[in-house]
Amino acid sequence: MGSMDGKSMRKRARDSLVEAVRGQVARGELLPGQAMLSVSELATKYGVSSRAVREGLAHLEAEGLVHGGQGRRTIVVSREPASLDAVASRNIAVVFQGRVRDNTTAEDLDGLQQAIQAEGYGTILYVADGSPEKEAEIVGRLAKEGVPGLVLYSAHPADSFEHLRAAQQAGMKIVVYDHDFPDLDINFAGLDDHLAAREAAEHLIRLGCKELLLINSDRNWTSSRLRQSGFEEAAGMLGSSLPARIVRLPAYQTVAEYDKAIRRALFPVLDTLQRPLGILAWWDEIALRVIELLQQAGWSVPADAKVMGIGNDLGGELAEPRLSTMASPREDISRLAASVLVSQMRDPSRRPQKIRLKARMIIRESCGNYDPHVLASLRRTSELLNAAKR
């Protein structure tokens, strides 16, 4: 409830700033070509946060009243708001697949907004509630309204993209954030999921784990497939000497639903798994739930199971034990997503780009320490096994 109250307060502060500036422009107190106060000065003058000021200025810029100037200054460009068509041409839509459930997602969206504003555009956020049908409806409507750019965090499977193809044909430029559509000639900016999963699994191998387990999403997402291929590649370097299993969980809406799914997937086979077990979960929150359920079943983390997640959500840093994870370079992804999209909007002849960034491994207590000689020994064993097979 506190986060919603804070969001409402910031919206009221933003709207108050917008109305104040509109009035000053209408009364001639701010003239075309005049530089406004800096963000920090406006925040002090109106008693609001810097974030509320940035959001307000982006709103005014989308209306055509102001334009970003050098450094922190914004320049007044008109006494009257622009037409609706002109407003649409200055906005980039951000369509998010589900609810903003955690601080990390909120930070991602805020980072995207700031990166887009730095390119001289405003942003409008739409939420698809995890529904591919609603996402397609939103994207179709935006294309008809002439919105020139779209940042999409998609709810659609990787092989379902007719709504995006139609939007492209209508002239909209699109960048997909985090979840790629490889069969569609479209911009992508996100994590190198294959490499992240491979490096995480290799780390679990270095820890001396006797068996590997990947807990992945069952959705037909490119990210899910790439994480599985990276995991399998790491496990495959030891041939048949290291068992590796894959569990796929449906996308549920509540923690209780995830707990039930994890219990159904893990508990029947716990007694058959070799210790220490190495577990990689496709999402930090899933990894944290796995740790709790393992502890309830009498397993020790990291002695019996060494657990890693992907994402570097805040909860992993605060958990006990703290979660090892593959940290996504969120700020760089946001910046590059905005950059490639705006570059193509400004020059439609530019080809779409696929940008995959390397994750940063963060080692915490959920994995424990490892002997650096373990991996070399395992590789020698693998080489002997492969030689024997030949």
253-298: pLDDT as tens digits = 676 787 888 888 888 888 889 999 999 999 898 999 999 999 999 9
Extents of the domains making up the chain: 1-82, 193-328+360-389
- DSSP three-state, residue 260: helix
The total number of residues shown for the chain amounts to: 390
68: its two tokens = 């970003």
pLDDT value of residue 99:
56
Model confidence band, residue 304 (pLDDT cutoffs 50, 70, 90):
very high
Of 379, 377, 338, 336, the closest CA to residue 358 belongs to 336
Lowest mean pLDDT among 27-31, 103-107, 150-154: 103-107
305 has which bridge partners?
277
Q: What is the mean pLDDT of residues 236-248?
A: 75
Query: According to the CATH classification, is domain 1-82 in 1.10.10.10?
Result: yes
SS3 369: coil
Between strands 187-191 and 74-76, the pairing is unpaired
Q: Residue 163 — φ and ψ, nearest 5°?
A: -65, -30
- Give me the phi and psi of 28, to 5 degrees please: 80, 10
Taking the C-alpha atoms of residue 37 and residue 42, their distance in angstroms, rounded to an integer, is 6
Report the pLDDT value the prediction gives residue 238, as an integer from 0 to 100. 53
Helix H or strand E encompassing 153: strand 149-153
Contacts of 193 (CB under 8 A, 6+ apart): 222, 223, 226, 227, 230, 310, 356
> For position 86, what pLDDT does the model report?
40
Integer Rg of the chain from CA = 24
User: What sign does the dihedral 152-155-158-160 (CA atoms) show?
Assistant: negative
pTM value surpassing 0.95: no
Of the pLDDT bands very low, low, confident and very high (cuts 50, 70, 90), residue 372 is very low
- CA–CA gap between residue 331 and residue 329 (Å, rounded): 6
The pLDDT of residue 79 is above 80: no
Task: Show the CA angle centred on residue 360, arms to residues 355 and 361, nearest 5°.
Answer: 140
Phi and psi, residue 341, nearest 5°: -65, -50
- Identify whether the C-beta of residue 154 lies closer than 8 Å to the C-beta of residue 186: no
Domains 1-82 and 193-328+360-389 share a fold: no
In this prediction, residue 377 has a pLDDT band, given cuts at 50, 70 and 90, of low
**How would CATH label the architecture of 193-328+360-389?**
3-Layer(aba) Sandwich (3.40)
Q: What is the pLDDT of residue 369?
A: 66
Those residues whose C-beta lies under 8 Å from the C-beta of residue 311, and which sit 6 or more positions away, are 104, 283, 284, 325, 326, 327, 328
